[in-house]
Structure formats: structure tokens, C-alpha cells
Structure 1
Amino acid sequence: MFGNKKNKIDEDFVKTEVTKIDDDDVTIAMDSQEEVDDKINNSGLLQKYSELAKVMYGMLKDYRKGIYTKVPWFTIATIAFSFLYILNPLDIIPDFIPGLGYIDDLAILTFGLRFIESDLHNYLDWKLEHQDA
């Protein structure tokens, strides 16, 4: 799923992999929310992203429902890719390696968030404006 194991994790790697995400991948990511939440909350390195993951899942759900459409496909694909990468136990650095297994997951989330930060802010602003409606 994630290309050659020799790939280094950098912005170009993430951008390239995000372009391969399709609608079925988004569905898989959405259907795996509980597993992603568990992995984030139970891995020391990723815990700080717990609240952001909730916002990202909220955006995916509102996008799928058609009630939030002011988001580019690249942002949706980045969120899906990030979650699918976290779920993959045999990614570039396998998760079962103590102390190192989640470093690549952290890198993917960090790069992904850098790409979509303004879209997440826009989504949160939209949520605040529409929560009373």
C-alpha cells in the first residue's frame, strides 16, 4: 500500500501517497475510527494528536454527509491516508518495534497536518458558526 519500504518519510512521500487515495480508502478510514482512536490513545507518541484526530474524523463525517463541502479533495485524502497509515502495522517502521514503531506514524501525521492546517481551522470556524443552527 505504501510503496517501497526504502522510501524515506518526507513531504514528497506523503504528497505522493496522498494522491493515490480514492473514495474507497476514505470509507475504510472512516469505518476504522475506533481502531485508529485506540492506536492513537495507546501509543505514547501519538496521544497528543487525539483531539486533532477527533476533529479530522468530524470533518470526514460532515464531508461524507454533504453538509461540509468547502474542503479540497487533497485534505480529505490526506486525512484518510494518515489514518490508514496509522492502522498499517507493517509500515516503514513496523509498530511492534519498541520505542521506534510509532515514529513514522508521528511523522506522517505531522506532515499531513502541516498540509491541511488551514482547512482544519476553516472547518472548526464553520462548526462554531453552525452549531447553533
Structure 2
Amino acid sequence: MAGKMTEQEAAAKLEKSSKKVTDKDIERVLEKEQDIEEKVQKNGSLRQYFNVVKSMYSLVKAYWKGEYREIPWFTIAAIVTALLYVFNPLDVLPDVIPFLGLTDDALILAVCLKLVQQDLEDFERWRSEKEQASQSDH
């Protein structure tokens, strides 16, 4: 098989793998936060997603702590899958063409963002309102 993964293939892989996400996967992605953020920041094709990745992490953390639960499980699972994929594609979606890995990473993040963008925006709005409320309490 030559060529890179298409957006449809990436979406299908992401959706299929998301169905297998467990609490252990969430713990793992939270443990790897610094490694994943460093990889995203240092890689040209991924760097544009740095703020998105930070936002995804904030959402997963708020969900994990029970602070924010107004979200479909699929969104959490898709984000966890995408972040684990960026960290180590072989763990999540076996990659037959290793040298295309970084292109796939960017594609997986882009597809994940498309799938969860509204939920991510809702979370950021909630987080912003929560911060404003806590500032006005002081």
C-alpha cells in the first residue's frame, strides 16, 4: 500500500479505536501529557495543533476529575485515542508505513478536531465562565 492515509480512513480508524478506550487509556494519556506536548511543539506538521492539544488535555483532565461531565463519551475517547496515537501510533493504530507516521499524526489530530470541535468549544466556554465566576468571587 503506497500513499498516505486519507481523511476518511483516519476518521474510521479513530472511531473504531475510540470504542476500545478504557479508564486505563485516560490515565496513560494524562501521564504522557508532557511527552505528547513536547512532540507536538517540536514537530513542524504538528506544531499548529499545540493550543488544540493543550485544550484537549484540559478537557480530559476536567472530565477525569469529575468537574466537567456534560460531554459525550465518544469525544473523550476520540481525544484520548488521538493523543495516544501522536505519542505512539503502534500502540493504538498499527501503522503499516512507519515513515508516514508524522503525517498521520497531524491527520489524526485534524480529523479528531473536526469530530470534537463543538464539544471542545463548549468546554472552553464553560471553562472561561468558571474562571470569570471565580475571579468575581475574589
TM-score (norm 1): 0.85
- In structure 2, the residue matched to 1:123 is 123
**C-alpha distance in structure 2 between counterparts of 1:60 and 1:87, whole Å:** 16
Q: Unpaired segments of 5 or more residues in structure 2?
A: none
Deviations 1:11-48 (Å, cap 9, x if unpaired)? Answer: 22211111111111011001100010111011110000
Please state how far the C-alpha of 1:10 moved relative to its aligned partner: 2.8
Higher helix share: 2
Matches within 5 A, 1:41-52: 41-52=41-52
Letter in 1 for 2:119: D
**Poorly superposed stretches of 4+, deviation over 3 Å:** none
Q: What is the alpha-carbon root mean square deviation over aligned residues?
A: 1.4
Task: Give 2:129's aligned amino acid.
Answer: E
Offset, 1:51? 0.5
**2:15 equivalent in structure 1:** 15
CA displacement, residues 64-90 of structure 1 (integer Å, 9 cap, x when unaligned) = 111111111111111110111011164
Q: Distance in 1 between matches of 2:88 and 2:12?
A: 20
- Count of residues paired in the alignment: 122
What runs of 5+ residues in structure 1 fail to find an aligned partner? 1-7
- Match for residue 62 of structure 2? 62
Task: Determine which structure has more spread, i.e. the larger CA radius of gyration.
Answer: 2
> Are residues 37 and 77 of structure 1, via their aligned partners in 2, closer, same or farther at CA, if it must alter by over 3 Å?
same
CA distance in 2, matches of 1:22, 1:114: 22
Shift of 1:111: 1.0
Structure 1 residue 101 displacement after superposition: 3.4
